[in-house]
Amino acid sequence: MSSQPISVVTGANSGIGRATAVHLASVGHDVYGTVRSVTKAEKLNAMADAAGVTVALVELDVADDASVAAGFDEIFATAGRVDHLVNNAGVGGNAVVEECPPALFDEVMNVNLNGVIRCTQAVLPQMRERGSGTIVNVTSVVGRLAALAQAPYTASKWALEGVSEQLAQEVAPFGVRVAIVEPGVTKSAIFAKNIDTPNSTGAYEVQYRRMFQMYAAGMAHATDPFEVAAVVQHAIETDSPVLRYPVSWAGPEIIAGRAALSDEDWVAMGTIASDQEYIDRFREVFGVDIST
């Protein structure tokens, strides 16, 4: 059995997951990266090769009970244990509440919330019995701010924040730590894939436009995912842990700004008619420039 820390990173085939898998391997972890298809992991393999490290690939779909069970059976059979679990796998989802079919909520929640629960339940018994372990849940700035026109994504990340906070207290007596990493806009394929909107009523053009405005500005300044990976490493290894780690472009600023803003002032932002006035107010409240 390896004397090195054994870490599992879900959704390791792109973005934050890929960077985290490679980064943890580069600092001495034995890393198992879960991917939905091993045959589509060329970029992950190339990045690992370039870094001179190995990331063991495990085919696993976090949205499926049987797949998660089989994937972790494979990991335990090979590694014997899991010291650290990084729940990173996730999908986006755009829609205002009125236009979002319940099926889309179900689909996004099944990956972003239930996928985390499946993987966490797979590792917790042995962590609890051993009296050590870390579970890092990658949420989002959208887990702390109800972002416009992203109802299913927002719902899933708020739910994951709540479950993570509850879990942290539940497992603390067993020596298991929970960390919540909250990225703002980070370079990732999720944004290129997340461009659809229902817009079925035609009534919410402004809301969709302002959502894309923020992400367009963010992508121009997007944080390198290896910066998030370094935060994940810190959350795992620090002797002075905290529960939440805001990171990436606009993440800390938006979270702090929303905490300082009254609910009434937050709602009032929705009544601003002019896009330029909205951009100016966003800068005033959050200290973030979303003009493009």
Average confidence (pLDDT) over 44-50: 98
Residue 37 lies in a domain: yes
Residue 27 lies in a domain: yes
Average confidence (pLDDT) over 40-63: 98
**Catalytic residue among 32, 153, 215, 245, which?**
153
pTM of the predicted model, to two decimals?
Answer: 0.95
Torsion angles phi and psi, residue 145, rounded to 5 = -140, 130
- Closest alpha carbon to 9 in 116, 113, 94, 98: 116
Residue 1 lies in a domain: no
Average confidence (pLDDT) over 223-239: 97
Lowest-confidence pick of 12-21, 218-227, 264-273: 218-227
Instruction: Give tens-digit pLDDT for 94-103.
Output: 999 999 999 9
- Amino acid 195: pLDDT: 59
Residue 291 lies in a domain: no
Q: 290 with 147: CB under 8 angstroms?
A: no
Residue 292 lies in a domain: no
Residue 35: which CATH number? 3.40.50.720
The β-bridge partners of 223 are 186
In the chain, the number of structural domains is: 1
Residue 246 lies in a domain: yes
Residue 170 lies in a domain: yes
**% of the chain with per-residue pLDDT over 90:** 90
Two structure tokens written together for 13: 């085939």
- Amino acid 190: pLDDT: 55
Q: What is the mean pLDDT of the chain?
A: 95
- Amino acid 189: pLDDT: 61
Catalytic residue list contains 208:
no
Count of CB atoms within 10 A of residue 71's CB?
Answer: 24
- Amino acid 192: pLDDT: 53
Domain that holds residue 20: 6-286
Residue 196 lies in a domain: yes
Instruction: Give tens-digit pLDDT for 160-215.
Output: 999 999 999 999 999 999 999 999 999 876 555 555 777 789 999 999 999 989 98
- Amino acid 193: pLDDT: 55
